[in-house]
Chains A and B, each alone.
Chain A
Amino acid sequence: MIKRKKNIFIRFFRNPKVQPFLSVILPVALGVLVFALWQTQILHKILGTDTFTLPLPSQINRIIGDNLPKIMLNVKATVLVAVIGLAIGSFIGYLIAVLATVFPRWGAGGLSIVAAFNAIPIVALAPVMTNWTKDVSSDASVRSMVAKVLVVMIVSIATMSVNAYRGLNNLPEFSLDLMKSYAAKKRVVFFKLRLPNSVPYIFTALRVGVPSSVISAIVSEYFAEYITGVGRQIRENIVIAQYATAWTYIAVACLIGISMYCILMMFEGILLRNRK
């Protein structure tokens, strides 16, 4: 009995019913702690900075409130680039994975080349794309949009194609034998086995792809011709030493990433609820 009482703390943390709860509570608690240190300016003392360079959360909150319409306009531009780029890129990436599966001889090699695109830094890609697309349209906003979407697209293609290829080919043990014993044609194997098997892998790719599409969109805005988007606002405000406004846009960028990730998790929870 005594021994049990001693371990009650450990047992509480190891309780499988408590654990999922803790995995939410602990990160949130850390976040709250950081915010508390930040707002009370203890964080500033630790980092040796001041409220001009690192404005208080309350200040950021006020700026968001005061400039909501303008901020939303920029958010819209960034989200549009991220979502369109991610959608087109993921679609092309999936098609490449399908091609690599249908033509296995070329597939593996071709896929490594596509995967190498993942290693190209966005910072290098963005100015190149802006330069390449300068004759696409006479409208600067359209030109910039195309350039930004292209950057996000290229980053998304690599992530999706590698993961989707895994999903189309890492099949359950004996499942191909089973299909063969039914004399199933390749097309049937694809639609009844490979395609549904790849769905969880699509979500794995998107878990990486959603945050990286937001980052790519923001970075590519730095180099774009047309001055719009959250990333561009961060840059412009730093240039004119408006750190409070710059930090506001950084906070907004975080919120975009987090909300898009949450929406993805919701879809994943619904679509994969019956799987292991």
Chain B
Amino acid sequence: MSEMIKEREVEREVEIKIDDVCMSFKDNNSNDVQALNRINLAIKKGEFIALLGPSGCGKTTLLRTIADLLEPTSGKVRISGMTPKEIRLQQKFGIVFQNPVLFEWRTVKKNVELPLEIMYWSKVERKKQADRMLELVGLTKFADHYPKQLSGGMQQRVGIARAFGIKPNILLMDEPFSALDEFTKEKLHDDLLKIWRETNKTVIFVTHNIQEAVYLSDKVCVLSPHPGRLSAVVEIDLPRPRTIGMKDSIQFTELVAKVRNSFEGGSL
């Protein structure tokens, strides 16, 4: 099984290349704080990558650097040979944040259509795509509801529909499920994997939850804090499609232990 996965991976081309990326901020006492220290990472097309670490390890900073929401102090990020800015201006990023960021004055459907409006899709195409995406996340019935009428899990699902709706090359997710309860989270994990399988996008998923990282991804990039650095990349060779039952398997438990032990400065 693991050989099969390896074979598949050889065929994939590297899509995102992160070269020696450093990032430093000034803190309140104007001391330099190193958020990221020489990060090197290659991400292949269609891969599901988890950036895992405790708070303050720079995982969100790294994600924002890839998204061109932040510029690295030194080093560079290349996506299919282009800069993150070029990719952003081509509108090839789909982003999901910690909270759903829905516009409360728009219906669910209009929220999904928002980026498509900005990208000058025709009205008919917008409608078609929004309907399709809402069906994918199982919210067809709620298309004409307003965000305040939806639960937190449903709102985050709308956010995911909106992100996948623009047909991005790369999907960036910044702790999207951290505010949700465990039951909703598990449901959304499987929904996300289903959409990912159907659309085959590259996904970078930031999380501080080890189980979540192992369950979802092909590779877990373990980041350690002070300064933020990449301490290990753990290959997750659990078969796909993943099912909830796998969380009870020995293989899963071992992988979780392996990831946990790869944090520098001892296990958490």
| Residues of A participating in the B interface, judged by any CB pair closer than 8 Å | 172-175, 177-184, 188, 192-193, 196-197, 199, 274-276
Contact A175 B101 (CB under 8 A): yes
Contact B88 A173 (CB under 8 A): no
Task: Tell me the smallest distance from the CB of B198 to a CB of chain A, in Å.
Answer: 22
With contacts A192-B114, A196-B103, A275-B104 taken as known, whether A181 is within 8 angstroms of B89 at the C-beta atoms is no
Contact A178 B105 (CB under 8 A): no
Contact B95 A173 (CB under 8 A): no
Residue in B97, B98, B115, B146 whose CB lies within 8 Å of A182: B115
Task: Tell me the smallest distance from the CB of A184 to a CB of chain B, in Å.
Answer: 5
Task: Tell me the smallest distance from the CB of A1 to a CB of chain B, in Å.
Answer: 35
Which residues of A are found within 8 Å of B148, using beta-carbon distances? 274-276
CA distance A196 to B91 in the complex (A): 23
CA distance A232 to B118 in the complex (A): 54
Is B235 an interface residue, CB under 8 A from the partner?
no
Contact A172 B101 (CB under 8 A): yes
A sample of 11 inter-chain contacts (CB < 8 A) reads A173-B99, A178-B95, A178-B97, A180-B88, A181-B94, A182-B91, A182-B166, A184-B118, A193-B103, A197-B105, A275-B104
Which residues of A are found within 8 Å of B114, using beta-carbon distances? 192
Task: Tell me the smallest distance from the CB of B144 to a CB of chain A, in Å.
Answer: 11
Is B117 an interface residue, CB under 8 A from the partner?
yes
Contact B101 A178 (CB under 8 A): yes
CA distance A100 to B252 in the complex (A): 55
With contacts A274-B105, A275-B148 taken as known, whether A181 is within 8 angstroms of B118 at the C-beta atoms is no
Contact A177 B118 (CB under 8 A): no
Which residues of B are found within 8 Å of A177, using beta-carbon distances? 69, 95, 97
CA distance A23 to B175 in the complex (A): 41
Q: A172-B103, A192-B114, A197-B105 are in contact. List 15 more A-B contacts (CB 8 A).
A: A172-B101, A173-B101, A175-B101, A178-B95, A178-B101, A181-B95, A182-B91, A182-B166, A183-B90, A183-B91, A188-B118, A193-B103, A196-B105, A274-B104, A275-B104
